[in-house]
Amino acid sequence: MRIVVIGGGPIGSKLVTRLREDGHEAIPASPDTGVDTLTGEGLSQALAGADVVIDVSSPPPLEDAAVLEFFATSTRNLLAAEAAAGVGHHVVLSAVGIDRLQDSGYFRAKTAQEQLIEDSAVPYSIVHATQFFEYLPSLAEAATDGGTARFAAVLFQPIAEDDAVQAIGRISAGPPLNGKVEVAGPEQFRMDEFFRNALATRDDPRTVVTDSRAGFFGAELAEGTLLPGADAVLGGTRFRDWPGRAAAGGDANLHELDRYVRTELIMAETSQPEDEAVAVPVEEWLFDPEDGPRYEASLHSLLGAVEVLEEHDGP
């Protein structure tokens, strides 16, 4: 099955790796590979012969109107290109509780994106995921003012990124749901207590204060705002077993290095020289063409070493 993954970053690269391991022809598509969903550049070429498209793209931090423009424009362009290419399944990553987070400009934009998908002629699956473990440090940073981080005493159910990737891959390889499915971690936590313990584990000096007015991407939180329903697909990784739980430990460092190397390897394997560079005289080349294969070989060697260390770096 030919599956195109729209959007770079760790989750995009992990999806490509996972899908290839499962025997699919997975193609990364992002500005780094010459595909721009905002302008439409490279879309028709990238989607040629594709059976499935997975959209995990996200804009950089922007004001509300710009975020809405990003999701609306990129999704329209992507759906139009999919219809022209005969793509049979559009999959998009979204968030659990999105309908309860409409005070947030970001989630209003994601809601508009979902509406465009539902109204299109392309069969689809919308995956609502809870917060990834990997993004929890960013949530703590967003909640921090000085030496204090403020969180509401509400429940949430975060998931390991690897578990979410596995679920997205499985959904993408199956028939279109023409509906939504929720993906979450196996445990619920009180948000304030969770971050108080998590920051202490990382020897983080910040004080966590329980604040009922503390929001989430600009939205107020009630008890069940961030919780999935009873039919959610649950990941198997508990937070205490997640390699990145402690920032200073060897497990965490290896985990981050593994993520970086895999991302670099996918980009190296899929990047091609610009056509016009072929005609440039050899004396004007800025690098040796053989550097590419050598770089890939070094990444493969580094990844192998990391995997060996991860196998032996147990508790």
∠291-293-297 over CA atoms, to 5°? 110
The string of pLDDT tens digits covering residues 117-161 is 999 999 999 999 999 999 998 899 999 999 999 999 999 999 999
Cα 281 to chain centroid, rounded? 40
274 band by pLDDT with thresholds 50, 70 and 90: very low
Q: What is the pLDDT of residue 29?
A: 95
Q: What is the pLDDT of residue 9?
A: 83
- Strand boundaries in the chain, DSSP class E: 2-6, 25-29, 52-55, 89-95, 124-129, 144-145, 148-151, 155-156, 179-184, 189-190, 207-210, 233-234
Q: Is 204 exposed, middle or buried (0-12, 13-18, 19+ CB in 10 A)?
A: middle
244 band by pLDDT with thresholds 50, 70 and 90: confident
Put residue 112 in one of left, alpha, beta given phi > 0 → left and psi -120 to 50 → alpha: alpha
Better pLDDT: 261 or 274: 261
Three-state secondary-structure class, residue 87:
coil
- Mean pLDDT, the chain, integer: 86
Better pLDDT: 15 or 293: 15
The string of pLDDT tens digits covering residues 183-237 is 999 999 999 999 999 999 888 999 999 999 998 888 999 999 999 999 999 999 9
On whether the CB atoms of residues 106 and 71 are closer than 8 A, the answer is no
pTM of the model: 0.80
Averaged pLDDT, 88-115: 96
304 band by pLDDT with thresholds 50, 70 and 90: low
Separation of alpha carbons 11 and 158, rounded Å: 15
Q: Say which residues have a Cβ less than 8 Å from residue 24's Cβ, sequence separation at least 6.
A: 1, 2, 3, 173
Separation of alpha carbons 91 and 1, rounded Å: 14
Task: Answer positive or negative: Cα dihedral of 165, 166, 172, 176.
Answer: negative
On whether the CB atoms of residues 120 and 88 are closer than 8 A, the answer is no
Separation of alpha carbons 28 and 13, rounded Å: 7
273 band by pLDDT with thresholds 50, 70 and 90: very low
Two structure tokens written together for 234: 């649950």
The string of pLDDT tens digits covering residues 37-68 is 999 999 999 999 999 999 999 988 789 999 99
